[in-house]
Amino acid sequence: MSKPLILVTNDDGIVAPGIRVLVDIVRPFGDVVVVAPDSPQSGKGHAVTLEQPLRIKKVNVFPGLEAYECNGTPVDCVKLAKHVVLKDRKVDLCVSGINHGSNASINIIYSGTMSAAMEASLEGVNSIGFSLLNFSFDADFNPCRPYIEKIIRDVMEKGIPHSRLLNVNIPNPASGRIRGIRVCKQAEGRWREEFMEATDPRGEKYYWLTGVFQVDNLSEDTDIWALKHDFISVVPSGHDLTTYPSIPELKYLEV
Amino acid sequence: MSKPLILVTNDDGIVAPGIRVLVDIVRPFGDVVVVAPDSPQSGKGHAVTLEQPLRIKKVNVFPGLEAYECNGTPVDCVKLAKHVVLKDRKVDLCVSGINHGSNASINIIYSGTMSAAMEASLEGVNSIGFSLLNFSFDADFNPCRPYIEKIIRDVMEKGIPHSRLLNVNIPNPASGRIRGIRVCKQAEGRWREEFMEATDPRGEKYYWLTGVFQVDNLSEDTDIWALKHDFISVVPSGHDLTTYPSIPELKYLEV
């Protein structure tokens, strides 16, 4: 009997510490194949590469494991994994991350980590994106390991209902003590952006995107609430963006 | 009394014919400002540019109109428009497109056109993405003009309920005869991908993403059904990706 096939990817790039931890965690669960970007791809959302050719290269980054780096986006990695690397072999689980930084609330939309997982879920594969609320490459992943193992074990046993995608965010309490896991909804929030303005040596202005994240609701059923209270948040997520209650209200547009 | 402020953007780039038509259509409705990418940005999804500085340049592309080109993604354009160009002046409407090609069904996720509109909707701005089912830059936009005018007029009068975002796709019937407008939901569909494999002069393989779109359901309440029957599809869309029915089913994950 063949072991489950597990695809691992991320958006911080194949040499980021987070993907190394995730690979370690999933190894006992099946045959692991890694296809990840060759450079940081944070904030790439669901971008695919249409105007440039894609390249994929076998690399020896994880001893004893089949691993590939790709010059495209996280979504490109999942597409190349399916078609070029795995030649349409059935994938049993896709895990993406562990991202260095939060993908809670509306950040699922901007996140390469979550978009990679969503791309796999579109193909019917149970998919989980993991993110730790710590941007540092020196982040301590030890406190969250047993929780990630539990989530993966449960999902491999029971699957993910409906759209097969989980957005898992992990708090980073100073104490190191995570209080548990909460299944919740995406909080309403938004970026209050500013642009850092600077001037290049030729006198031309340029801008760097920056900003602070602002949460609009902090009710107990949201991911941001869970994280603020040192719980891991699990948000079942999907790809149907229709706002159903609006349909009857907009019927007047029809001619 | 000041006129409504209308932001126009797209993902095909500021010189694409589609944005020219859209600018023409919205001019009578208010003060129009254009901020659009300086190069094609199709398939960029909700990507933002974090690793590169952004530049924005005033250009004289639309006689008598304030217009800027930007080296970033469509979402970058909307962010720069808000913060750098308009200095947080209240935008009354954001229109994106007219995209050359369909953004119906799941394509909303990959689409730079729709992501730009979604970004504006996240700021509470009524936003509409328009797409014509014809990739050619010689496409005939005349049959759809009165319908786009109607939708914009209605939205400026009554607003968009809930998440303030409409995904409007326009059929391209050989007859040129559009039958009307239908308000509907996003159809389930997926890309059946293939990669075109080729070899570069140094003997290295590379890949181009290609594929055909496949629809899973064709019920009468979907955008794909409307388009196949020569109706314009209007899908009210949002940014809350939570799959609510899954929350109770996944409570077993909690510890």
What residues in B contact A42, CB-CB < 8 Å?
50-51
Q: Are strands A231-237 and A180-183 parallel, antiparallel or unpaired?
A: parallel
pLDDT of residue A193: 82
**CA A133 to CA A169: how far, in whole Å?**
7
Task: Give the DSSP per-residue string, A162-196.
Answer: TT-EEEEEE---TT----EEEE-BPPPEEEEEEEE
**Which residues have C-beta within 8 Å of that of residue B136, sequence separation ≥ 6?**
B100
CA angle, B126 as apex, B67 and B236 as ends, to 5°?
125
pLDDT of residue B144: 96
Q: Which domains does chain B have, with CATH numbers?
A: 5-187+219-253 (3.40.1210.10)
**CA A104 to CA A188: how far, in whole Å?**
10
Q: Which helix (H) or strand (E) holds A152?
A: helix A145-158
Closest chain B C-alpha to A95 CA, distance in angstroms? 17
Report which of residues B193 and A209 the model is more confident about: A209
Residue in B221, B241, B244, B254 to test binding to A, most A beta-carbons within 10 Å = B241
Cα B213 to Cα A33, A127, A235, B188: the distances in Å are 27, 22, 28, 11
| Position A105 pLDDT exceeds 70 | yes
Q: What is the pLDDT of residues A46-77, one digit of tens each?
A: 999 998 999 999 999 999 999 999 999 999 99
The rounded mean pLDDT for chain A is 95
Percent of chain B with pLDDT over 70: 100
C-alpha closest to that of A16 among A99, A133, A127, A118:
A99
Percent of chain A with pLDDT over 90: 91
C-alpha closest to that of B132 among B246, B20, B251:
B20
Query: What mean pLDDT do residues A113-134 have?
Result: 97
pLDDT of residue B142: 95
Q: Which of B115, B207, B234 sits opposite A250 (nearest CB)?
A: B234
Query: What mean pLDDT do residues B99-116 have?
Result: 96
Q: What is the pLDDT of residues B174-185, one digit of tens each?
A: 999 999 999 999
pLDDT of residue B193: 82
What residues in A contact B40, CB-CB < 8 Å?
51
Contact B241 A56 (CB under 8 A): no
| Number of alpha carbons in the 13 Å side-chain half-sphere of residue B143 | 20
CA torsion sign, A39 to A138 to A23 to A103?
negative
Q: Which residue has the tokens 């254009």?
A: B34
| Closest chain B residue by Cα to residue A162 | B246
Find the length of chain A: 255
Instruction: Say whether A244 sits in a helix, a strand or coil.
Output: coil
Contact A163 B108 (CB under 8 A): no
Closest chain A C-alpha to B102 CA, distance in angstroms? 15
Query: What mean pLDDT do residues B29-39 have?
Result: 97
Q: What is the pLDDT of residues A187-200, one digit of tens each?
A: 999 898 889 999 99
C-alpha closest to that of B113 among B75, B165, B151, B139:
B75
Under the banding of pLDDT at 50, 70 and 90, the label for residue A181 is very high
Residue in B86, B87, B109, B214 to test binding to A, most A beta-carbons within 10 Å = B109
Instruction: Please name the residue ranges forming H helices in A30-84.
Output: 74-80
C-alpha closest to that of A239 among B224, B190, B192, B149:
B190
Residue type, B47: A
Contact B54 A206 (CB under 8 A): yes
| Position B20 pLDDT exceeds 70 | yes
The C-alpha torsion from A120 through A125 and A126 to A131, rounded to 10°, is: -10
ipTM of the complex model: 0.94
Query: What mean pLDDT do residues A133-153 have?
Result: 95
pTM: 0.95
Q: Long-range pairs for B13-17 at CB < 8 Å and ≥24 separation?
A: B13/B37, B13/B38, B13/B39, B13/B40, B13/B41, B14/B38, B14/B59, B14/B61, B14/B67, B14/B69, B15/B61, B16/B40, B16/B100, B16/B137, B17/B100, B17/B137, B17/B138, B17/B139, B17/B141
- First-to-last alpha carbon distance for chain A, in angstroms, is 58
Residue in A56, A123, A242 to test binding to B, most B beta-carbons within 10 Å = A242
| Position A44 pLDDT exceeds 90 | yes
Under the banding of pLDDT at 50, 70 and 90, the label for residue A237 is very high
| Position A206 pLDDT exceeds 70 | yes
| Position A22 pLDDT exceeds 80 | yes
The rounded mean pLDDT for chain B is 95
What is the CB neighbour count within 10 angstroms for residue B150? 14
pLDDT of residue A216: 82
Query: What mean pLDDT do residues A83-98 have?
Result: 95
pLDDT of residue A2: 83
Under the banding of pLDDT at 50, 70 and 90, the label for residue B81 is very high
pLDDT of residue A1: 62
pLDDT of residue A131: 98
Closest chain A C-alpha to B247 CA, distance in angstroms? 6
Question: In degrees rounded to 5, what are phi and psi of residue B227?
Answer: -65, -40
Tokens of B27: 């001019």
pLDDT of residue B71: 96
What residues in A contact B236, CB-CB < 8 Å?
242-243, 246-247, 250
Contact A252 B154 (CB under 8 A): yes
| Position B1 pLDDT exceeds 90 | no
